[in-house]
Amino acid sequence: MRTASFKLTATRKIIVAVVIAVVALIWYDLLNRLLAFGDGIDYAGLHVMGAEATALLQRYNPFFWWALVALCTIIIAYFLVLFARSSMRAARLRQIDEHTFAQLSDGLSPPALDVLLWAWQERDEPLRVGDLQRALEGLRAHRAAKLQRAARQLAALEQARRRD
């Protein structure tokens, strides 16, 4: 199940990684240009404001440009996170093809099948990658044992009801 989930989401993960790397490289080049631009600004033409004001502008100039770079970095990171989340959400909604479904149904153990059936909540829709991911999380959290224990408890309660 892990392999099938990985294969079905690998393309999206690679695209997200490539987009993030390209944006990071472009932003690194742009921030260096922005800082160089800020370094090159000369406030000598503002002598009308006075020598103290010009010196103050010159002293705090690097801080302004670094703050602008930090703000832009936060905004870019925010949009990249939104892009990654939406891409992974789209991957989770992808339906599982018949070949992968056949491999899963033939290769899973009965407890894993129980967990997959538990994870597949919308039975009127085909099985999706998100259902596989939820089943994997359930297997890691020992959901199969919990389902078996719940089935035993249900059987015991139904048997007790029949005795009454």
- pLDDT tens-place string over residues 117-142: 999 988 899 999 999 999 999 999 99
- Going from N- to C-terminal start, the domains of the chain cover 2-92, 98-163
Prediction pTM value: 0.75
Name, in order, each residue with C-beta under 8 angstroms of 56's C-beta and a sequence gap of 6 or more.
none
Q: Phi then psi for 152, rounded to 5 degrees?
A: -65, -40
For residue 18, the model assigns a pLDDT of 98
Q: Which residue in this structure is represented by tokens 């302004």?
A: 64
Spell out the residues 6+ positions from residue 47 whose beta carbon is closer than 8 angstroms to its own.
54
Give the contacts of 61 (CB within 8 A, at least 6 positions apart): 38, 39, 41, 43
CA dist 12 and 22 (Å) reads: 15
Q: What is the pLDDT of residue 149?
A: 94
Round to whole Å and give the CA distance between 22 and 11.
Answer: 16
Please, what is the average pLDDT of the chain?
91
Half-sphere exposure of 43 (CA within 13 A, CB side): 17
pLDDT in tens, 30-66: 999 999 998 888 777 777 778 888 888 888 888 999 9
Residue 144 C-beta-side C-alpha neighbours within 13 Å = 12
